[in-house]
Structure 1
Amino acid sequence: MKCTIIFFSHKGWRHRPFFPYFAKGARRFRKMSARSAGLRQGRTDPYSTKRGRMLEMNSEELDVLRKQVDEINEKILHLISERGRLVQKIGKLKHAQGINRFDPERERVMLDRLLSLNKGPFKDATIEHIFKEIFKAALELQESDQKSEMLFSRKNRKENTVVSVKGETFGDGKPHFIFGPCSVESYEQTEAVAKAVKEKGLKLFRGGAFKPRTSPYDFQGLGFEGLKILREIADKYDLAVVSEIVNPAHMEEALEYVDVIQIGARNMQNFELLKEAGKVRKPVLLKRGLAATIEEFLYAAEYILSQGNSQIILCERGIRTFERATRNTLDISAVPVLKQETHLPVIVDVTHSTGRRDLLIPAAKAALAIGADGVMAEVHPNPSVALSDARQQMDLDQFSVFMEEMEKFTKNYL
């Protein structure tokens, strides 16, 4: 069967056989096949050679440009490092003069100048973002420098500070315990608890003689009379006294009766009291304030350290939050944070942080599991008639159960 193609031109219709056009396509196909066969036999393809030369030229140009970018990156790194060193010097001068590290007006002036010099290709918003990140990093560098200079800082002292009291060494990696009544109410009440503490093989005995209470009508403690009771009973049972001092003027006289000076949560930022505690040569148990940040807590410790007393035990005792299920909220994460930031030992007061005796055991286990150096809790012979914190103190039987649980926990998990 013969096929034809009809063409239309100004001369009219013309009929041509189809096979010449088919033949032309066939010749082109044979040329392509021959070219492919030649490539398989190792002959050079002129088309690919030309394209290869172009790619090679482009690759060389790309390498040159990349090398230039690398050189610029190195220059930028050098300049940023040099800027960082200058910023560190500025930070030290500001710290010495008591000037705030962050100066928003100065930052705005620098940004405005940079934007006025910007000729592209980056937009002003991009330039502003880049330099704000540089400014932020510089501020963090200044803060890091200042913290590393602080006496409390782990950067200043790598090894743990060990505070020794009556053979108990806080910071040695072993758990330690402090127990006693919330308040010293009478000789008999205090002795009953001291006897129970001694029977458990413990050495540290706490008791409140000066009580900073929320209400002025609540029991304020027995004062120095309470300290005398503590001292007499502690000597009888070979215990060390841990008790709070609230007035800087009482510090010298109180040293006769106490082995560890406690500075309570409400006095964490009583700076004159902190300074006085720093001048003595007895250990200080410093409690975190009700609404204090960890940074503020550490700076309070710095007040004591700056006066020469390095024997400090930090105590997390819960912070005030919106939660009402417990008296305070135990900031359990504060323990590992403090252990990272400072070389000082850290303990947890499970009584005040929870305000519930039914939560004391799990809170104590959590504290020890997360790395606390010890636990503090309150014990009373008859909590129902206690003059302070009646709902949160353990009775003597509950205290025995508490210690049994702690012994099992430390034996199996620590």
Structure 2
Amino acid sequence: PQDTIVNVAGIPIGGNEPVVIMGGPCSVEGEEQVVRIAKEVKEAGGSILRGGAYKPRTSPYSFQGLGYEGILDMVKAREETGLPIVSELMSAEHIPEFEENVDLVQIGARNMQNFDLLKAVGRMKKPVLLKRGMSATIEDWIMSAEYIMASGNPNVILCERGIRTFEKYTRNTMDLAVIPIIKEKTHLPIVIDPSHSTGDWKYVEAVSLAAVAAGADGLIIEVHDHPECAWSDGAQSLKPEKFAHLVQRCRRVAEAVDRKVR
């Protein structure tokens, strides 16, 4: 009956702990870029650095990420800022480098039902951020979390990133009702991804504020200082000053619902 509180390199997520805001680029584009953005994320009030080193892309011709080099670039950013890092794991063969270098292991929407990968992640000691599949029901999502926990890893954070519907005005459809449902049906923390759900930076702040008001335990937001030049997903990335404004507004909303932002 007690809420699970997941510790990410000293940062507690879940229960009545403060809301945690994660920020960073969709794709790591090099050491200088990710270190620079990490400093801006920290200055704005972010607590965890997100960044993609291995990128699952719909088109095989899109940028696929820097791979292990990108992970090491994020490690450098952590050394410079103290921010823990979250990055997506796509294959079990990369588990050793993630176990060594990454603080929060993300399983993306396209791998939510990759059961062999989920079982392998369940044998890791690092906490896991499990994104909802783009066409997955809540029951499917919870069962995927069960795969991880049944394999021995209790430290699972669920992440809603929007589901695929007939609507075209946003990249996906954000299911905010999932927040109270997950709180009722599970003991796990839930994080909201307003960037992938909307696909448009103009809507990210509104969805973030609504998520905090609805009881989300965290947000994961794409931040880029030159989104027009980003190697992936620039259209949904906030500039650092807009991210800072979002964090301040989230603090005020959190206070209104008897929460705090870390």
Q: Shorter chain as normaliser: what TM range?
A: over 0.9
- Residue 204 of structure 2: which of 349, 360, 369 is its match? 360
Larger proportion of helix:
1
User: What's 2:41 paired with?
Assistant: 197
Q: Which amino acid aligns with 1:252?
A: P
1:216 paired to 2:63: no
Native 8 Å contact 2:29 2:66 kept in 1: yes
1:248 paired to 2:248: no
User: What's 1:292 paired with?
Assistant: 136
> 1 CA distance for matches of 2:216 and 2:241?
25
> 2 CA distance for matches of 1:297 and 1:363?
21
> How many residues were matched structurally?
257
> 1 CA distance for matches of 2:176 and 2:257?
18
Q: Which has the higher contact order (CA 8 A, sep 6+)?
A: 2
Q: Which amino acid aligns with 1:163?
A: V
Partner-residue secondary structure (3-state), 1:164: strand
Q: Which amino acid aligns with 1:172?
A: G
Partner-residue secondary structure (3-state), 2:158: strand
User: What's 1:62 paired with?
Assistant: none
User: What's 1:168 paired with?
Assistant: 11
User: What's 2:73 paired with?
Assistant: 229
- Residue 388 of structure 1: which of 232, 235, 259 is its match? 232
- What's the TM-score, normalizing by structure 2? 0.95
Partner-residue secondary structure (3-state), 1:314: strand
Q: Which amino acid aligns with 1:241?
A: I
1:183 paired to 2:9: no
> 1 CA distance for matches of 2:244 and 2:45?
12
Q: Which amino acid aligns with 2:55?
A: K
Partner-residue secondary structure (3-state), 2:220: strand
User: What's 2:165 paired with?
Assistant: 321
The answer for unaligned runs of 5 or more in structure 2 is none
> 2 CA distance for matches of 1:187 and 1:232?
7
The answer for unaligned runs of 5 or more in structure 1 is 1-157
Native 8 Å contact 1:356 1:392 kept in 2: yes
Superimposed CA distance per residue, residues 82-134 of structure 1 (whole angstroms, 9 cap, x where no aligned partner): xxxxxxxxxxxxxxxxxxxxxxxxxxxxxxxxxxxxxxxxxxxxxxxxxxxxx
Q: CA deviation at 1:201?
A: 4.2
Q: Which amino acid aligns with 2:223?
A: V
> 1 CA distance for matches of 2:174 and 2:204?
11
Q: CA deviation at 1:292?
A: 0.3
> 2 CA distance for matches of 1:355 and 1:321?
14
Partner-residue secondary structure (3-state), 1:391: helix
> 1 CA distance for matches of 2:79 and 2:131?
25
Which entry has the higher C-alpha Rg, 1 or 2? Answer: 1
- What's the TM-score, normalizing by structure 1? 0.61
Native 8 Å contact 1:177 1:202 kept in 2: yes
Structure 1 vs Structure 2: percent identity of aligned residues? 47
Partner-residue secondary structure (3-state), 1:255: helix
> 1 CA distance for matches of 2:93 and 2:177?
35
